[in-house]
Amino acid sequence: MSQACSRKLQAATREKLRKLNSLRGREVLPGEFWDVVAVTAVDGSQKEAYELQIREKVERKELPVGAQYKVFSDPPGCKIGNGGSTLYALQQLNDIYGKALSNMRIILIHAGGFSQRMPSASALGKIFMPLPLGNPIYQMLELKLAMYVDFPSQMKPGFLVTCADDIELYSIPEEERVSFDKPGFTALAHPSPLSVGTTHGVFVLDPSEHSSYQEMEHSSCQCFLHKPSIDEMRDSGAVCTNQNGLFSMSDSEFVYTDSTYYMDFKSAKSLLNLLNELGPLNCEIDAYGDFLQALGPKATIEYTKNTANVTKEESSLVEIRQKIFHLLKGMPLNVILLNNSKFYHIGTTSEYLFHLTEDEAFRGELGLLSSAFSVNATENFSGCCIMYSVLDPSCSVEAGSVVEYSRLETGVSVGGGSIISGCWVSPGLSVPAGAFMHTLCVTHQKQIRFVTVFFGIKDNLKQSVTSPAHVEELEFFGLNLAKCLSHWGMENERLEFSGDASSCSLWNACLFPVCSEQESSFSVSLRMLQAVLSGSTSPPPRDTALMSMQDCLQCKNLEEMLKLKRRLHHDIKQRKLSI
């Protein structure tokens, strides 16, 4: 990206942040902001967690006042995907607002799920991940609202559908606006390398609409491809040639990929009628692949039988897809080409670390700080990110690490490329490089207890084996799990897994001691981790219960976790006042 384009992107982004900052904590005027900010949750427990946090954010004046903030959970039972969540959210909004819904502008943020690739966000939600900017400090929710702050005033009644863990930055000419005023669906599109297109949705544009590669253009989409191969992109005519040196692209060829889309009220009503016809869902529906592939004049029914990108194939999926296709077929898919734009995904521990500590472009565009709402995070901490934490001046945190919602006592050191989240670290302790450590508050045997989970940053918590006999196939901090168990004085056969016995993974392995105090919980878990790395032995304390990450979520003590956060907030404010 040229320096001029980069400066435009940065200026446009800062202006959006300024606008949201001017709305935080004050009553918004009609049409100035969303009528409803709707957030999806995977179940009732997550819904409760989200509602509590949103309520606190409104009370602390972190969000605009006057909009309705709603959280909708998926129904109990099988996973229904973000497409299913969209349908159920529409149904619940219709139940609440009735006919008034046809005049409302609503943002629907998909935030349901257990964040297995970003476990520090599992208990409280990825939409509440902290970011090092703003006063009060931003979370992903505010950043999403800031990036779309201009949309409600340029939008006919309808719904903007987006995900909690991605960020779109863009600039447009000063005299122009991103408008959502056409019937059907309207999607934002970003120029991307062909390799990126294989993991996203790709738009096949109408070739008769000549492109001059302005900062922003409007086009119509012939059809939408979901995670296509490069050959499929070429065969369908999705590949564009970069002749004029496109704003944000250096590649000679590119495709336009998806991010966020709008549907007008009439289209949303059609989907609502579909849910009534289908009844309870028993398979996962994709709000992008299953809805958008039905749109445009060249859409065909063939995609409904392609289950290559489906996590779990259910017999009813093809039938439901075909019903969606016949319902939406013929509806237009309009595309807003944002030629000076960037799409960022922050859904994994590696992405979180990279974007917050190393990615100079991202940090510059958003104005991210190395230290935000923290005490004593000074010159010892270059190249890392400290948020919402209290550190002793003698602490050291190496480059590439993130410390959030934590207390670090005298002489604590944190190795590079680590995440410390929600922890109280006792004096003198050293956290190794590449470690993920996160303390959760749980209710165990009717008492408040603490569990510190620990993994390697690159560990795959989703990888599973069929029984405990095969745990050597699971990798923990670069070693096979069976070898780790020997360092903790545990036998393979004695290791328990929570939940489904036929799916054994790091996510449901009962490895982590349950302790009575936040500090001791961290210390015990750190000793176990250090034993693995040093080749020594450090069994969990005798007669101590062990929990999995999955257990921790099921037993989380939400009130206590938020109470600890409030106490930390109070301490930071008091110390800052006394400086």
Please say which residue of 345, 362, 395 terminates a domain: 345
Predicted confidence at residue 248, as pLDDT, reads: 63
Question: 494 and 410 in one domain?
Answer: yes
Cα-to-chain-centroid distance, residue 142: 13
Number of domains observed in the structure of the chain: 2
Predicted confidence at residue 576, as pLDDT, reads: 84
Dmax over CA atoms of the chain, in Å, equals 73
Q: Residue 426 belongs to what domain range?
A: 370-578
Predicted confidence at residue 257, as pLDDT, reads: 97
Question: 308 and 375 in one domain?
Answer: no
Pairwise CA distance, residues 262 & 182, whole Å? 10
Contact between 506 and 440 under an 8 Å Cβ cutoff? The reply is no
Cα-to-chain-centroid distance, residue 150: 22
Rounded to 5 degrees, what angle do the CA atoms 377, 380, 384 make? 70
Q: What is the pLDDT of residues 539-555, one digit of tens each?
A: 998 889 999 999 999 99
Helix (H) or strand (E) segment spanning residue 266 = helix 265-278
Please say which residue of 306, 330, 345 terminates a domain: 345
Contact between 500 and 465 under an 8 Å Cβ cutoff? The reply is no
Predicted confidence at residue 311, as pLDDT, reads: 61
Please say which residue of 310, 345, 380 terminates a domain: 345
Task: Report yes or no on 354 lying in a domain.
Answer: no
Predicted TM-score (pTM) of this structure: 0.95
Task: Report yes or no on 355 lying in a domain.
Answer: no
Tell me whether strands 240-241 and 216-226 are parallel, antiparallel or unpaired: unpaired
Within 8 A by CB and 6+ apart from 385, the residues are 132, 356, 357, 368, 369, 370, 371, 401, 402, 403
Q: What is the pLDDT of residues 136-191, one digit of tens each?
A: 999 999 999 999 999 999 999 999 999 999 999 999 999 999 999 999 999 999 99
Task: Report yes or no on 105 lying in a domain.
Answer: yes
User: Which residue reads 């489904």 in tokens?
Assistant: 500
Query: Can you read off the two tokens belonging to residue 234?
Result: 């070429």
User: Which residue reads 């692209």 in tokens?
Assistant: 249
Task: Report yes or no on 357 lying in a domain.
Answer: no
Q: Residue 390 in 3-state DSSP? A: strand
Task: List the chain residues with pLDDT less than 70.
Answer: 1, 210-211, 244-249, 309-314, 379-380, 492-493, 579
Question: 470 and 328 in one domain?
Answer: no
Pairwise CA distance, residues 91 & 94, whole Å? 5
Within 8 A by CB and 6+ apart from 366, the residues are 13, 17, 131, 133, 143, 169
Judged by phi (left if over 0) then psi (alpha if -120 to 50, else beta), residue 462 lies in alpha
Question: 93 and 238 in one domain?
Answer: yes
Contact between 402 and 357 under an 8 Å Cβ cutoff? The reply is yes
Tell me whether strands 396-397 and 371-372 are parallel, antiparallel or unpaired: unpaired
Question: 405 and 553 in one domain?
Answer: yes
Question: 464 and 388 in one domain?
Answer: yes
Question: 335 and 377 in one domain?
Answer: no
Task: Report yes or no on 361 lying in a domain.
Answer: no
Task: Report yes or no on 406 lying in a domain.
Answer: yes
Pairwise CA distance, residues 520 & 451, whole Å? 9
Predicted confidence at residue 314, as pLDDT, reads: 66
Question: 110 and 39 in one domain?
Answer: yes
Question: 374 and 340 in one domain?
Answer: no
Contacts 24+ apart (CB under 8 A), 405-408: 405/130, 405/565, 405/568, 407/568
Question: 425 and 469 in one domain?
Answer: yes
Structure letter (DSSP) for residue 497: B
Nearest to 564 by CA among 511, 517, 527, 500: 517
Question: 376 and 338 in one domain?
Answer: no
Question: 434 and 301 in one domain?
Answer: no
Task: Report yes or no on 364 lying in a domain.
Answer: no
CB atoms within 10 A of CB 388: 22
Task: Report yes or no on 59 lying in a domain.
Answer: yes
Predicted confidence at residue 245, as pLDDT, reads: 60
Query: Can you read off the two tokens belonging to residue 39?
Result: 């957030």
